[in-house]
Amino acid sequence: MSELIQAVLESEEKNDLRSFLSELRHQDKKYLLRNDILNVYSEYCTNYQKPEHFSASSSLGKLIYYTQEIIQDISGFCFIIRPKIATQEVYRLTDDLNVEPMSVQELLDLRDRLVNRFHPNEGDLLELDFGPFYDYSPVLRDPKNIGKGVQLLNRYLSSKLFQDPKQWQESLFIFLSLHQYNGIQLLINNRIQSQQQLSQQIKAAIAFVSSLPSQQPYEEFRFQLQTMGFEPGWGNTAARVQESLEMLDQLIDSPDPQTLEAFISRIPMIFRIVLVSPHGWFGQEGVLGRPDTGGQVVYVLDQARNLEKQLEEDAVLAGLEGLNVQPKVIILTRLIPNSEDTLCNQRLEKVHGTENAWILRVPLREFNPNMTQNWISRFELWPYLETYAIDAEKEILAEFQGRPDLIVGNYSDGNLVAFLLARRLDVTHCIIAHALEKSKYLFSNLYWQDLEDKYHFSLQFTADLLVMNAANFIISSTYQEIVGTPDSIGQYESYKCFTMPDLYHVVNGIELFSPKFNVVPPGVNENYFFPYTRSEDRVESDRRRIEEMLFTLEDSAQIFGKLDDPSKRPLFSMARLDRIKNLTGLAECFGQSQELQDHCNLILVAGKLRVEESTDNEEREEIVKLYRIIEQYNLQGKIRWLGVRLSKTDSGEVYRVIADHQGIFVQPALFEAFGLTILEAMISGLPTFATQFGGPLEIIQDQVNGFYINPTHLEETATKILNFVSKCEQNPNYWYEISQQAINRVYSTYTWKIHSNKLLSLARIYGFWNFISKQNREDLLRYIEALFYLIYKPRAQQLLEQHKYR
């Protein structure tokens, strides 16, 4: 039995539990989530006149705090308890307080019955269980270490080298022998025929290079090393070569995790990278603000630039300049023939500011031209992805003149294409979810059939399950993206156990303690986003133009609203107009607070201004809603709404101009997986108020370099902003203090240099792990393929049939 339940039953609070269950019986809801449970408990404490300490400190209070869900049926109550992060316990409590554990299968059956979609006479549902496939790999023990998987993997690999040196050193020798660049052998040549010979030659090579001046260029002693069996790749100077050889020597003699990571991270094994992002308008101009673009496009473009730069630096440090090494990064996306005013109909486009990074656009196969020649929502793209991957494979091989070394998927559709490509090409692959829709839409798996026509979650959630298990490693921007917080489950954690009634039960969807999870936050493009105080890097004409656009420009078809008093402190937000980004919620918060209106203007840069200009249903609904709020709260003269598409240069200057006016950035999303705009605002010097639901919890340190808000509590949000404004008015330095702390936070933790180094290090280490564990992974990949063809593909075919008539 749960210790939390047992503590209640063995105390004087037993009757309180019975009374609480009685209160639950009177609830209209049969399925209560954590907030519902806390609200019922709060009402119970009030109604029964419980002392204040009872609510939080009692055994019952602790049980309620850790209970994530309560489902009631005729036979009793199902308590789903999360006593610690990434751990779940399920119990049935009857009205007379009998307690018995419930299996995962029983829980899923109960959830099915709740939506009346469980028909026992029709047989049991398919059960998906990925658990057994993780038996071959190490797992973490402490949930605090989830997201630091590479550290466990390094410990595991170094211990194997120590425990079974002969076999593992042989594997390491073979691995080092494999690496080439354009047919040129790297690291070791055929003069070294065995692991034993490698060990001997390393010591001889160390003795040789240690006699050279430390900064002597590699090319000047290359021939001597080649005669000893060592090819380029060890370093660009005598000192670097010596350091690399000494690391390998130590790994052979007395391996340890730090040396293993440092050595593997130096191996020149990655020169060609594919970043996959099929959906949306993916381009460098004229795309932001359109459906399915925004933060992800910015992220991938910045990542491509910085990975190329890092690959070039790594090649120089490895001593490969003499081989004319030219690293190449390709962003794989879809070609849209009817591209409107964008370049999305161009097959190949160079990424600005790079030597060899490209956007490669591959069209969807011709089907219904109304669909395949136009933009398609990310929710509708699923039927085309398998053939898209097949076609993209040919294009990638042609562009690289060979296979890529690493494939990185972005978002659910890109992750599926990355898996299909990696499987066909036998390449290390990584996925980045950015956001998993399952967490964003309440009960989206339970009521998937009601949402299927609009969102096709059966395809998306199936794809998510397959790719997160197939990936060699997974990058998340934050820890909580994986396993949440003590009082909320994470995005990946939500895939651990769930039902899609009439389709399948997931009894073990993902191993959260697997070393494949690693937290690697993105950075900010410092060419465009930098502190407002760096006046020498700002263009005065741009500043004046942006200032006019934000505050005073009239008679523009892209701007709604004239400010009565432009000198008021600006409250600023910039995002696409959809339900989750919740800009309408911010407008309502502003509208409900007369005091906030007295002190501030609200300035929004968001999507379109007119319904007829949008092709996205959700955006249309939000446009109508925003106008209604402006009318309802009489916000004319207090709000500016800019329906503009900004270049990156202008976006950066917008933040800085708002900072010039000692403004405030508010990010009111109902959920935010990470929050790139938060980093952009903070590095610009804007005090930032951001949602407490999601990634901002890890970016911002509350009341130190920013502030958390609960965007569902409008009055509380307004009060927090007003408190800040009041402090600034009492102490003019307060705004500057928070501003500087925000800038410092970004520079210390969230740069693309840090991100690129970490990502490439992970790619090399997991590439090594993939090489030595390949045989054990094949059974998992076969299982995933079976589910792809038996579940995903038939449903994709059904959707394709529907597309015929659109």
Q: Give per-residue pLDDT as tens, 676-716.
A: 899 999 999 999 999 998 889 889 999 999 999 999 999 99
pLDDT in tens, 65-81: 999 999 998 889 999 99
Going by pLDDT thresholds of 50, 70 and 90, the confidence category of residue 422 is: very high
Does the pLDDT of residue 121 top 60, yes or no? no
Going by pLDDT thresholds of 50, 70 and 90, the confidence category of residue 571 is: very high
- Which amino acid, residue 143? P
Q: Domains in the chain, please, with CATH?
A: 3-102 (3.10.450.330), 155-177+188-230+234-264 (1.20.120.1230), 272-481+511-523+754-803 (3.40.50.2000), 535-750 (3.40.50.2000)
Q: What's the angle, vertex CA 377, arms to CA 376 and CA 381, rounded to 5?
A: 70
Per-residue tokens: 442: 């309440």
Going by pLDDT thresholds of 50, 70 and 90, the confidence category of residue 269 is: very high
| Burial class of residue 1 (count of CB atoms within 10 Å of its CB; 0-12, 13-18, 19+) | exposed
Higher per-residue confidence, 678 vs 671 = 678
Q: Are 17 and 115 in contact (CB under 8 A)?
A: no
From the list 574, 580, 720, 570, the residue with the least C-alpha distance to 639 is 570
From the list 485, 517, 510, the residue with the least C-alpha distance to 82 is 485
User: What gap in Å lies between CA 13 and CA 431, rounded to an integer?
Assistant: 48
Task: Return the SS3 of 695.
Answer: coil
DSSP letters, 45-113, are: HHHTT--HHHHHHSHHHHHHHHEEEEEEETTEEEEEE-SSTT--EEEEE-TT--EEE--HHHHHHHHHH
Of 166-175, 395-404, 722-731, where does mean pLDDT reach its minimum? 166-175
Residues of the chain with pLDDT > 70, as a percent, come to 99
Of 120-129, 220-229, 385-394, 492-501, where does mean pLDDT reach its minimum? 120-129
Burial 217-256 (b: 16+ CB within 10 A, else e): ebeebbeebeebbbbbbbbbbbbbbbbbbbbbbbbbeebb
Looking up tokens 């579940």 gives: 791
Task: Outline where 376-456 has alpha helix (H).
Answer: 385-400, 411-425, 437-440, 448-455
Question: What integer is the mean pLDDT of 148-174?
Answer: 90
Task: Return the SS3 of 33.
Answer: strand
User: What gap in Å lies between CA 549 and CA 306, rounded to an integer?
Assistant: 32
Does the pLDDT of residue 128 top 70, yes or no? yes
Mean pLDDT, rounded, of the chain: 93
User: What gap in Å lies between CA 385 and CA 516, rounded to an integer?
Assistant: 25
Question: What integer is the mean pLDDT of 7-17?
Answer: 92
Determine the pLDDT at residue 137. 85
Phi, psi of 65, deg, nearest 5 = -60, -40
- Which amino acid, residue 705? N
Q: Are 507 and 127 in contact (CB under 8 A)?
A: yes
Does the pLDDT of residue 776 top 80, yes or no? no
C-alpha distance from residue 495 to each of 430, 443, 508, 511, 748 (Å): 18, 13, 8, 10, 33
Helices and strands (H, E) in the chain, number of each type: 31, 25
User: What gap in Å lies between CA 486 and CA 345, rounded to an integer?
Assistant: 47
From the list 731, 701, 576, the residue with the least C-alpha distance to 644 is 576
Q: What's the angle, vertex CA 794, arms to CA 790 and CA 795, rounded to 5?
A: 115
Task: Return the SS3 of 269.
Answer: coil
Determine the pLDDT at residue 123. 61
Of 112-121, 295-304, 681-690, 755-764, where does mean pLDDT reach its minimum? 112-121
pLDDT in tens, 606-639: 988 999 888 888 899 999 999 999 999 999 999 9
Determine the pLDDT at residue 286. 85
Evaluated on CA atoms 254, 255, 257, 263, the torsion sign reads positive
Going by pLDDT thresholds of 50, 70 and 90, the confidence category of residue 122 is: low
Determine the pLDDT at residue 118. 53
Phi, psi of 508, deg, nearest 5 = -155, 95
> Who's near 383: CB < 8 A, 6+ residues apart?
796, 797, 799, 800, 803
Determine the pLDDT at residue 435. 82
pLDDT in tens, 50-60: 988 888 889 99
Does the pLDDT of residue 103 top 90, yes or no? yes
- Other beta carbons less than 10 A from residue 344's beta carbon: 24
Does the pLDDT of residue 642 top 90, yes or no? yes
Q: Are 429 and 471 in contact (CB under 8 A)?
A: yes
Determine the pLDDT at residue 525. 86
C-alpha distance from residue 143 to each of 48, 149, 253 (Å): 37, 11, 33
Looking up tokens 């949402």 gives: 451
Residues of the chain with pLDDT > 90, as a percent, come to 81
| Burial class of residue 785 (count of CB atoms within 10 Å of its CB; 0-12, 13-18, 19+) | middle
Per-residue tokens: 749: 């933790």
Q: How many CA atoms lie within 13 A of 206 on its CB side?
A: 14
Does the pLDDT of residue 100 top 90, yes or no? yes
